[in-house]
Amino acid sequence: MIEALISGKLHGQPAQKIARTGKPYETARVRAHAGDSDVFINVIAFSQAACEALLALSEGDAVALAGTLTPKAWLDKEGAARPALDLVASHVLTAYHVTRKRKALERRPYELQPHESQYPPDTQPLTRHDEFDDGGPLDF
C-alpha cells in the first residue's frame, strides 16, 4: 500500500452509500492531471469528516485527498490495459477549508505584548506574540 496525497477535480457527483453493516461511506471519482494526460482516481471514504467534506462538493470542484493508494489496471473495449488508482481517503481538503481557516485567523485579535530585547522597558516596541518565539535572532 502507498500513502499518497493527490489533488484534482471531482468527476461526477460524490455518492453516499450504506455498507452491509449499516455504516455510511462515500464514493467519488477524481480526475488528476499527470504529465500529458489525465488519470482517474476512484475514491472511497469511511471517516465522518472525510465523508462530510466530500458530500459538500459538486462536480468540477477542486479537492486534495490523503490516504492509502492502490494502483490497478483495467482493459478498455479494444483490450488495451489502462491504469486505475483506488484511494481510501482519510483526509479531504478543499478550497472551502482553506478559506474558512484564513477567515478564522483574521478574526482572531493579535496578542500584543512588549518584545523582550535590548530596548529599555519603557520604549519596547509592541509585536505580535508567537508562542514558538524564543526571542533570539534568526540564524540562517
Measured distance CA(135)–CA(119) in Å, rounded: 13
pLDDT at 26: 94
Average pLDDT on 2-19 reads: 93
Measured distance CA(62)–CA(8) in Å, rounded: 6
From the list 3, 45, 1, 55, the residue with the least C-alpha distance to 23 is 45
Over residues 50-81, the pLDDT tens digits come to 998 898 888 999 999 999 999 998 888 999 88
Going along the chain from its start, the domains and CATH numbers come out as 2-98 (2.40.50.140)
Over residues 94-130, the pLDDT tens digits come to 876 666 666 666 665 554 444 455 555 555 555 555 5
pTM of the model: 0.65
High-pLDDT (> 70) share of the chain, %: 68
